[in-house]
Amino acid sequence: METTCFLTGVSIILAYSAMAFLAIEATNIITDQSSLLALKVHITHDPKNFLANNWTASTSVCNWVGITCDSQNNRIIVLNLTSMSLTGTIPPHIGNLSFLVQLRLRNNGFHGSLPVDIVHLHRLEIFHLELNSFQGEISSWLGSLPKLQI
């Protein structure tokens, strides 16, 4: 009886660990796409229609303007929205772009604070956010990104 209870307990713990692991690791190109669609929803002004007619589910996310995918893993490695005259905020979903190496937001009208979820982008090397209207300090968590160079 005690052994059974113990084993059941162990199985439950293992099942929960597996679920927690999947919750953290199970991002894929579909997650990447939903992260970008969440970002699109947070863009309130796109006067040159860069994203309006281009970031649509009818074409592969890897063909969207400003997006570069890694041909090996088929995941987004570059998000480049430089000088697209976009106004809006950055949603926490950006932290789900697990393979992102370059995040280029330079020269737009992005405002609000940067979501702390960016700290999940362990592969991030290049991050340009200058010439926007972000509020708050450049958060100390940026320093915990292991590969960040710029």
Ligand X SMILES: *[C@@H]1O[C@H](CO)[C@@H](O)[C@H](O)[C@H]1NC(C)=O
Binding residues for ligand X (CB under 6 A):
31, 34, 53-54, 59, 63-65, 80, 82-83, 92-93, 95-96, 104, 117
Distance from C-alpha of 55 to C-alpha of 59, rounded to nearest angstrom: 8
Q: How far is CA 82 from the centre of its chain?
A: 17
Give me the least distance between CB of 127 and ligand X, in Å please. 12
Min separation Cβ 3 and ligand X, Å: 38
Q: Nearer to ligand X by C-beta: 6 or 141? A: 141
Both tokens of residue 12? 């439950």
- Based on CB atoms, which residue is closest to ligand X, 13 or 26? 26
- Give the Cα separation of 108 and 131 in Å (integer): 7
95 within 8 A of 121, measured Cβ to Cβ: yes
Nearest by Cα to 54 from 81, 83, 88: 81
Q: Which is nearer to ligand X, 119 or 142 (CB)?
A: 119
Please, what is the minimum distance in Å from the beta carbon of residue 5 to ligand X? 34
Smallest distance from ligand X to CB 51, Å: 9
